[in-house]
Structure 1
Amino acid sequence: MNQCTAVALLPPPDHLLALAAPGHSPEAGYVLCELGEEHDDQHAAMLWDEGGRPGSAVWVRWKGSGLARLTPLPWCPALDPRNEACELFAGHPSAHSWGITDPTDEAITQALVRQRPHLFPEYRDEEGS
C-alpha cells in the first residue's frame, strides 16, 4: 500500500515564537502523512519521541486543510515476522508501517540500485544481478 500524500503546514509553537530573537521568527514547516492510503480522514505524522515510553511519541494530527493539533500517542504494539515494531501509533487506521511504501523513496532506491547495484545486495536477486 502506498503512503498517503496529504500534507499540512505546521506553524511554529507559541513558546518558540516567544523565544525567537527579534526579526528572526521561526518559519512554519510542512509535515507529510505517514499513514497508508485509504485511511480515515485524520492524517498523522510523528514529530518526536521522548524515550519510547507509552504515550511518549508526539504526533501531529489534522483533517483536510484544517488546523493541525499535537497529541501524545502510544506506539502500536504489533511486530512483523522479523520481530520489528510497527512505526505508527496504537490503533492507527490503515496498514502497519512495514506494509506502507513511500513511492518517492522507492523510486529513488530503484534508480540507485540500477546505478550502483553493489551497494544494494538485498536487491540483487530481485534485479537478476
Structure 2
Amino acid sequence: MNQCTALALLPPPDRLIALAPPGHRPETGHVLCELGTDHDGHHAALLWDEGGRPGSAVWIRWQGSGPARLTQLPWCPARNPRNGTDEACELFAAHPSAHSWDITDPTHTAITHHLTHQHPHLFPQFRDGSGED
C-alpha cells in the first residue's frame, strides 16, 4: 500500500521567531503524512521522539486544511511477524491504517527504481531479479 501524500505546512513557532537574528526569519516547513492511503480522519507525521519511552513520541495531526496540532502518542506495539528481525511498527498506537512495514513511499520507490537502472553496481540486491526493478 502506498503512503498518503497529504502534507501540512508548519510555520515556525513564535518563540523561535523571537530568537532569530533580524533578517533571518525561520522558514515555514512541511510534513508529509506517514499513514497508508487507506486511512480516514486525521493525517499524521512524527516530529520527534524523546528517547523511546512510552508516550514520548511527538506527532503532528491535521485534517484537510484545518489547523495542525501537536500531540504525544505511544508507539504501536505491533511487531512484524513476517520477518525474523522483530521489526516494530513505526507508527503510533491505534493508527488508522496498515502497519509501517506494509506502507511504501512512492517517491522513494521511484527514486530507487531510477538509481537501480542508472547505477546497478550500487544495488546488487536487485541484480538477480528478486527485488524491484
TM norm structure 1: 0.91
Number of aligned residue pairs: 129
CA shift digits 1:41-92 (9 cap, x unpaired): 2000111111111111111100001111111111111111331111111111
Secondary structure at 2:2's aligned position in 1? coil
* Counterpart for residue 40 of structure 2: 40
User: Which residue identity does 1:27 align to in structure 2?
Assistant: E
* Counterpart for residue 73 of structure 2: 73
- Identical amino acids, percent of aligned pairs: 73
Deviating beyond 6 angstroms after TM superposition, the runs of 4 or more aligned structure 1 residues are none
In 1, Cα distance between the equivalents of 2:41 and 2:32?
14
Are 2:98 and 1:95 aligned?
yes
User: Which residue identity does 1:122 align to in structure 2?
Assistant: Q
Secondary structure at 1:58's aligned position in 2? strand
* Counterpart for residue 53 of structure 2: 53
* Counterpart for residue 118 of structure 1: 121
In 2, Cα distance between the equivalents of 1:127 and 1:88?
28
Note the C-alpha offset of 1:116: 2.0
Note the C-alpha offset of 1:18: 1.9
Let me know the Cα RMSD of the aligned residues.
1.7
CA shift digits 1:4-28 (9 cap, x unpaired): 0101111111221221122322111
Q: Give unpaired runs (5+ residues) of structure 1.
A: none
Q: Give unpaired runs (5+ residues) of structure 2.
A: none
* Counterpart for residue 13 of structure 2: 13
Note the C-alpha offset of 1:127: 5.8
Note the C-alpha offset of 1:123: 1.9
